[in-house]
Structure 1
Amino acid sequence: MSLPRLLGFGLLLFLPLIPLRSEESAPAPLRVLAVGNSFSQNVFAYLPQFAKAGGKSVSLLIAYKGGCSLKEHADAYAAAENDPASPAACIYSGTQWFEEGHPAAAGTKSFNLIDALKKEKWDIVTIQQYSALSYKPETYEPYAGQVVAAIRKYAPQAEIVIHETWAYRDDDPLFRKGDFTPALMQEQLKAAYAKLAAAYHFRTVPVGDAFAAARVLPRWTFAPDAAFDFAHPAEGALPQEKAGLHNGYRGAKDPKTGVYAVHLDGHHANKDGEYLGAAVFYEALFGGNVEEVAFVPPNGSLTPEDAATLRHIAHQAVRAQKAAEAAIVPATAASAPSTQ
């Protein structure tokens, strides 16, 4: 065989290997199931984009029911074991993000917790308490244990991770009496989640800690609009809200009276809060340093400088949480779910 023909034959042998090598270099997705509520939607809104920017991949499903508590999750699981198709069992809708980061509706039909746990071979399953109960440790058990048992039964390979939620905004009605504050709410919910984590040797993703750290900075310190007429707002008018991590006010007409009023959402995260929550989860789940992931939302909600500050806060929160957990339990116990 001549040398040119030999070289050509060798090239043909080599060419089929090229796509195989490309496929081998693609990152395997981290498969994450969130058993939660709208706070789960908040913290995972930007996670696929963070993953892509960091050279990672995620497949994410949020088993969502608005305002869902651990008790409601546990009750729905018990109903699913008895009658999987019952309304009491099929309480969830959800959105699934696949590896490419493109959301696909998975909630057109309601599903139950067993469905969610069996949908994929999950690497991570997150749990949380309903935010209005998060600072009340007496509301966690026995329901958390029942949810944990469900996960261990139907997704025994998964690591169960606690999603630490955050305190409400300063002007939320919960703090109106003055004897309860966002700082106290954060302190109490952190203690409640820490107690849960210690009982089961779970890791905690410290989103609430990151919120607490960010909201003391001038850029995210809430300041009320003292000049706004809340009693008789002009139609379409809203208070000035230049800082903060929460959604804040929206305006709407009463459908019966036609009277315009403003309504506060001091619970859920705004775009800045969603970015911060996703940054915390990125570093907690993927490792590394999220400060090095230069993802900035394309919607213009954050400047590159502000995004970098939030990523720094996220990194500090995760690093502090890891140090605290290492001081309590061995790293192997904190990262490995029990299958018993």
Structure 2
Amino acid sequence: MKHYKSYILSLLCFTIGILCIIYTVKAEDEKGKELRLLVIGNSFSRNATLYLPQLAAEGGHKLVMQKAEISGSPLKMHWDAVEIAEVNPDDPKGKPYNGKSLKMLLMNGGWDIITMQQASTHSAYPESYYPYINNLYNFIKKFQPAAEIVIHQTWSYREDASYFSRISEEERANSAQEMWEKSRMAYHKVAKEFNLRIIPTGDAFWQVSSDSKWKFIPDANFNFKNAVYPELPKEKNSLNVGYSWTKNKKLKLDANHANQAGCYLGALIWYSFLFRESPFNLKFVPENVSQDFAEHLRETASKTVLNKN
């Protein structure tokens, strides 16, 4: 039995080693080539790709990135704009991407990778993806048949959010974990149906948010009911924007969008996914992210993407 266990362990280590070598060889083969990326999304894709250009440059990769983003937009809104532009190409409502339609962006040269995502508020509601994901997929393939279409898995809100994603027309998820689990199922359902790879940003966020050592813990000592400007609660290891003061000195919470740490983690995931390369040794770190947390985020990104490929 001991010899058998030893054999299995040796075989496992050998297999992991081979996978790492293949992963590295692919990365080296692709280094120096220009990658053309079209991002169809909203503020969450904007968050996740904020630091991607810096990381790509540091890693020695040539990246051309175009955005087709509408803040807060679900898949339906992107498809609605396509239909408007098809009826009347001059209608401004059909050109929501800085005065351009999706067709105009798709026809702007060859794209290597084109990403899509659902709005976070609908991400855990599978029915909300249809028929818009089908329509967009077919529309993209019509003009960019050689491009790889991939799905960007968005993340769950912070545990102290006042609401979470819809799971049906009438219900919302009851917790950050339920939102992650059900949105993950929805994204994987779509990916399987269309045979698409997934950028696992949502999984990486959850890995950090559920880690006993690194997860965000709400400040139990802060007096939220009688908060005094400009005091703010402690929000160590938060991946989300969190609390801030408005111009009218009212305390507000954004538990949805990514802060610098969350944007950094998202960019690390995208970097590793796009270039098939671990981001662990990259040096760039946003100014408000501690070195130890940044190292953990790089490690998380590396493990999350490597385990998916």
TM tier, smaller: 0.7 to 0.9
Within a 5 Å distance, the mapping from 1:65-104 to structure 2 comes to: 65-93=70-98
229, 232, 237: which is aligned to 1:238? 232
Matched, 1:145 2:134: yes
Residue 226 (structure 1) aligns with: 220
How far apart in 2 are the matches of 1:205 and 1:283? 9
Paired position in structure 1 for 2:13:
none
Change (3 A) 1:298 1:197: closer
Evaluate the alpha carbon distance shift between residue 86 and residue 66 of structure 1 in structure 2; reply closer, same or farther with a 3 A threshold: same
CA distance in 1, matches of 2:173, 2:121: 16
Q: Does 1:46 align with 2:51?
A: yes
The letter of the residue matching 2:93 is A
Structure 1 residue aligned with 2:193? 199
Taking a change above 3 Å as real, the CA distance of residues 308 and 237 of structure 1, as seen in their structure-2 partners, is: closer
Taking the aligned partners of 1:270 and 1:187, their CA distance within structure 2 comes to: 22
Percent identical across equivalent pairs?
38
Q: Deviations over 1:47-93 (max 9, x none)?
A: 11111121111111111110010011111111111112213211224
Gaps of 5+ in 2: 1-30, 165-170
Any idea what SS the aligned residue of 1:290 has? coil
Deviation per CA, 1:69-119, whole angstroms, max 9, x where unpaired?
A: 0011111111111112213211224xxxxxxxxxxxxxxxx2211122122
Distance between the aligned counterparts of 2:172 and 2:130, measured in 1?
A: 29
SS in 1 for 2:257: strand
Query: Which SS does the other structure have where 1:58 is aligned?
Result: strand
- Partner deviation per Cα, 1:30-51 (whole Å, 9 max, x = no partner): 0101000011111111111111
- Could you tell me whether the CA contact under 8 Å between 2:173 and 2:179 is conserved in 1? no
Q: CA deviation at 1:317?
A: 1.2
The question of whether the paired residues in 1 share the 8 Å contact of 2:79 and 2:136 is answered with yes
CA contact (8 A) 1:166 1:211 kept: yes
Is 265-274 or 221-230 further displaced after alignment?
221-230
User: Of 287, 293, 299, which aligns to 1:306?
Assistant: 293
Residue 216 of structure 1 corresponds to 210
Whether the 8 Å contact between 1:220 and 1:245 is mirrored in structure 2 is: no
Going from structure 1 to structure 2, the CA distance change for 1:236 and 1:75 (only over 3 Å counts) comes to same
User: What is the Cα deviation at residue 179 of structure 1?
Assistant: 6.9
The aligned runs of 1:23-62 (5 Å cut-off) are: 27-62=32-67
Q: Structure 1 residue 174 and structure 2 residue 179: aligned?
A: no
CA distance in 1, matches of 2:255, 2:90: 35
Give 2:306's match in structure 1, choosing from 311, 314, 319.
319
Matched, 1:63 2:84: no
TM superposition shift of 1:218: 5.1
Partner of residue 275, structure 2: 286
> Which whole-Å CA distance do the structure 2 matches of 1:220 and 1:115 have between them?
43
The normalised TM-score by structure 2 is: 0.83
Write the distance in 2 (CA, Å) between the matches of 1:45 and 1:158.
23
Question: What is aligned with 2:241?
Answer: 247
Q: 1:31, 1:124 within 8 Å by CA — same for their partners in 2?
A: yes
Q: Aligned partners of 2:138, 2:227: CA distance in 1, in Å?
A: 50
Counterpart Cα distance in 2 of 1:77 and 1:179: 30
Amino acid at match of 1:301: V
Which SS does the other structure have where 1:173 is aligned?
A: coil
Q: Is the 8 A contact 1:205 1:281 kept in 2?
A: yes
C-alpha separation in 2, matches of 1:90 and 1:60:
18
Alignment partner, residue 329 of structure 1: none
Q: What is the RMSD of the two structures over their aligned residues, measured on CA atoms? A: 2.1
Q: CA separation of 1:220/1:62 partners in 2, compared to 1, >3 Å: closer, same or farther?
A: farther
- Secondary structure of 2:150's counterpart equals strand
Secondary structure, aligned partner of 2:255: strand
- Corresponding letter in the other structure for 2:113: I
TM-score by length of 1: 0.76
Contact residue 49 and residue 295 of structure 1 kept, 8 A: no
Q: Equivalent residue of 2:189, what SS? A: helix
Q: For residue 297 of structure 1, what is the amino acid of its counterpart?
A: V
Residue among 130, 143, 153 paired with 1:164 = 153
Give, in whole Å, the separation in 2 of the partners of 1:290 and 1:234.
Answer: 41
- Aligned residues of 1:215 and 1:222 also touching (Cα < 8 A): yes
Looking at structure 2, the residues matched to 298 and 202 of structure 1 have their Cα atoms a distance apart, in angstroms, of 31
Q: Secondary structure at the match of 1:306?
A: helix
| Equivalent-residue separation in structure 2 for 1:300 and 1:166 (angstroms) | 21
The one of 275, 287, 299 aligned to 2:264? 275
Aligned residues: 274
Give the AA of the match of 2:103: I
Shift of 1:214: 1.1
| Structure 2 counterpart SS, 1:119 | coil
Stretch of structure 1 that moved more, 224-233 or 270-279: 224-233
Name structure 1 gaps, 5 residues minimum: 1-25, 94-109, 255-259, 323-340
